[in-house]
Amino acid sequence: MSNEIQIALPGTWEMRKSREEAAETRKRIVQAAETRKRIVQAAAREFREKGIVATGLADLMKAAGLTHGGFYKHFASKDQLVAEATVAALDSIIEELAAQPTVNSAVAAYLSTRHRDSPASGCPLAALGGELARSDKRARAAATAGFVRLVDILAGKARPADFRRRALPASLPKDKICGQFRLAIGCGV
């Protein structure tokens, strides 16, 4: 009878082992995602503060607390990182402006001394506009999409329709403004 207790059911060891392996795989995936996010956030800061061209991969990875050898484990190229860091930086500034109760407070926050004196956390369009124009298609598209969202946030905060008309006159509809921005950074219309 005691032998029966000690005998494991067929496949029990394999099932336990595969559960442990699955848990370990999930843990590695989560850690890789967290590391990637850390790299993107560091890149968003470093690119805005120093510029895209002036920021080398070794400096960037050091800012993320990693060695440069692991970069290509997370990204196919620096261009891919530029696009993702642009999205992250734009999301940050848009979130900050969207939290403001009025268009005046949003504009005041954007034009504040704190914002001006902190390029690493400021607007990537102001900090990187010229470099984004020379970046690859993904980074230019990310910048354009962020600009459109920024215009939408500010236009949405303008309460009276009359104010909106004065801010964005009929001769310059939002589509035209966005088109001009796309042309400025080389995305086409």
Q: Taking the model in full, what pTM does it have?
A: 0.73
CA gap 2, 156 in Å, rounded = 75
Residue 169 per-residue DSSP state: -
Domain boundaries, the chain: 10-185
pLDDT in tens, 22-67: 888 889 999 999 999 999 999 999 999 999 999 999 999 999 999 9
80 and 67 Cβ atoms separated by less than 8 Å: no
CATH superfamily entry for domain 10-185: Tetracycline Repressor, domain 2 (1.10.357.10)
Q: What is the dihedral of CA 131, 133, 138, 142, to 10 degrees?
A: 90
Instruction: Give the confidence band of 175 by pLDDT, cuts at 50, 70, 90.
Output: low
Nearest to 182 by CA among 127, 150, 142: 142
Q: What is the mean pLDDT of residues 61-78?
A: 93
